Structure 1
Amino acid sequence: MVNEESMRPSDIRFTHDSIQYKFTDGRTLTETFRQLLRKVTPIENIPKMEVMPNKGKWFVVRGNRRLFVYKELEKRNQIEKVQVTKRIFNRELFDKQYTSTNEGRSVKIRGRGLEAVMQDFNEVWEEYKRENPFCPIL
């Protein structure tokens, strides 16, 4: 069974222990964060993440990089919820995706490093706040 629903990114855990800095289309996490923050790319244009339950928690099985960006936008009160596709638990798919070493609470970033990416996000955020003092929610 599959259905679509809105969820808070903070209620979803990662399945991967690490994510690549670039999306398959070549955009970086930082570019995507900037484009969503500035509404250059509407959030509706980003493919929905696929999530499934496991042991009472929701995990993303398609969209770990998107989840990382959404969590950062949520922390800054720029989004409340995102549309996701909820799937029933599938052991084979979950086990294939699940490499987390901390129950999906965080990820490492390959190709740039978490610390550098967070610094980039913070710089983009500070620039955005200077230009948009009221920072509306997306």
Structure 2
Amino acid sequence: MANEKFDTQNVFGQGDKNDAYAQYFIGQSYLKNLVSADDNVNVNVGNVTFEPGCRNDWHIHHNGYQILLVTGGEGWYQEDGKPAQLLHPGDVVTIHDGVKHWHGATKDSWFSHVAITTGTSEWLEPISDAAYDALSKD
């Protein structure tokens, strides 16, 4: 999906370059915090936008969970040992405590999701280019 069409779907906006977490991503991501610990709640809510081909590293959420609400474009979600799932606007992914996973854009589309996250994140190895390039929408 081209950026111009994607921008009309990305209702919360792209946000700023996600420099604080850049070391855990391949490609450029953007983050717009919607709710944070500063709001005196124990959950972080942010709109994460991925440029085409951008994805985060494998990671695990400890003592919490993550819920992804897909808001724009096309992306991937994969749990360790399972096939990758193609995601579209309106899809919801629930990631339980201790589940190793990654998520990101397809090669040819921008992608955004609202991430609702509690607990702490353990960042692991990146998704290899070979594994990512082998993903197919078919």
Query: Same fold judged by TM-score > 0.5?
Result: no
Which one has a larger percent helix, Structure 1 or Structure 2?
A: 1
Q: Which has the higher contact order (CA 8 A, sep 6+)?
A: 1
Which one has a larger percent strand, Structure 1 or Structure 2?
A: 2
TM-score, length basis structure 1: 0.34
TM-score, length basis structure 2: 0.34
